[in-house]
Amino acid sequence: MSKPYVYVTRKLPEHTLTKLADIAEIGMWDSEDTAVPRDVLIKEARRADGLLVMLSDKLDDEILRSPSLKIAANLAVGYDNMDTAAAERHGVVITNTPDVLTDTTADLVFALILSSARRVVEAAQYVKNGDWKSWSPLLLAGADVHRKTIGIFGMGRIGEAVARRAKGFDMNVLYHNRTRKEITETLVGVRYAALDELLQHSDFVVNLAPLTKETTKMFGKEVFLKMKKSAFFINGGRGGSVDEDALLHALQQKEIAGAGLDVYEVEPIDPNHPLLTMKNVTALPHIGSSTIETRCAMARLAAENIALVLTGKAAKTPILL
């Protein structure tokens, strides 16, 4: 009997796929840096039993209705790139990569908080540009992070990991979430706040919510106006949750002090996007979970999910439809 066929939409380290290779024939898009063209993905999906896809691949009805497709494993914890209703209609299992990326992503969110407040990127560029002429008392003076208030919007696993880091900085941690997390409140020492209270009191407003109908463009004009003028907006969730015109306006009008962004409405962000001209914007290319260890763990987990489903077992981390 021939092995099932799995298509992987980006070049991944071979060692992360060895177990999958035992049970399946693997086809792979031969590039680390460029996304598989849509027509190639459609063609490959038509003959595939499983797909291992990236968050930059749009998995809609056209892909998910492929006749032999049984599983699509996303190399990300977020899965707003997938049409979950279409997956359900066509009986395709979809999986994500929770847990293995939690701490790595929380580290990066904290790096964004520190970089934004302490102007790290701007300061490093200042030295490299040869602009440093003398020590001076207020040279590139930023804002303190320790003992400030952080407001986390979206208290899932990553939110909790960010909260734990914040506690290490003696920060006061507020959070807002669809549901209250009483256990986290007790274990980590965080306090639930209504959204307005969180916005009004936080020195760092951190978005970690998944992109849903409810969160789409929810960080808009009204939200930025409610924040302190000295506060920073940090986005480690999804760019679609932000109205970027409103964010730009808030930064230009000094309604907020700065922003640290890892995600954007459109990715990659246009290099000429006006947000990138702002000195008080720290902009990263969606690298929240990008360490060698974690990206390999994510690839192994995605591959394991596919192997399980293609051998008639339950996936380890299915998205509950």
Q: DSSP secondary structure string, 80-114?
A: TTB-HHHHHHTT-EEE---STTHHHHHHHHHHHHH
Which residue in the set 101, 112, 171, 231 belongs to the binding site for ligand DGY (CB under 6 A)?
101
Q: What is the CA radius of gyration of the chain?
A: 21
Tell me the two tokens of residue 302: 């995605």
Please say whether the dihedral angle defined by the alpha carbons of residues 270, 275, 278 and 281, taken in this order, is positive or negative.
negative
d(CA 280, CA 63): 40
Instruction: Find the binding residues for ligand DGY in span 53-72 (CB under 6 A).
Output: 55
Of 151 and 240, which CB lies nearer to ligand DGY in the complex structure? 240
Site string for ligand DGY, 71-100 (x = CB under 6 A): -----xxx----------------------
Of 96 and 149, which CB lies nearer to ligand DGY in the complex structure? 96
Edge-to-edge order in the sheet of strand 204-207: 191-192, 172-176, 149-153, 204-207, 232-235, 258-261, 281-283
Provide the 10 A C-beta neighbour count for residue 140: 14
Under the criterion CB under 6 A, does residue 305 sit at the interface with ligand DGY?
no
Q: What counts of helices (H) and strands (E) characterise the chain?
A: 12, 12
Instruction: Quote the least distance from Cβ 160 to ligand DGY, whole Å.
Output: 16
Exactly one of 14, 88, 222, 267 is catalytic; name it. Answer: 267
Instruction: Quote the least distance from Cβ 223 to ligand DGY, whole Å.
Output: 21
Q: Is 267 a catalytic residue?
A: yes
d(CA 49, CA 71): 7
Instruction: Quote the least distance from Cβ 298 to ligand DGY, whole Å.
Output: 7
Instruction: Quote the least distance from Cβ 99 to ligand DGY, whole Å.
Output: 11
Q: Is 176 a catalytic residue?
A: no
Of 78 and 258, which CB lies nearer to ligand DGY in the complex structure? 78
Provide the 10 A C-beta neighbour count for residue 213: 5
Exactly one of 10, 119, 176, 238 is catalytic; name it. Answer: 238
Which residue in the set 289, 297, 300, 309 belongs to the binding site for ligand DGY (CB under 6 A)?
289
Q: Is the peptide bond before 268 cis (omega within 30 degrees of 0)?
A: yes
Instruction: Quote the least distance from Cβ 236 to ligand DGY, whole Å.
Output: 8
Q: Is 286 a catalytic residue?
A: yes
Residues of the shown chain interacting with ligand DGY in the complex, contacts defined by CB under 6 A = 55, 76-78, 101, 286, 288-289
Residues carrying an active site annotation? 238, 267, 286
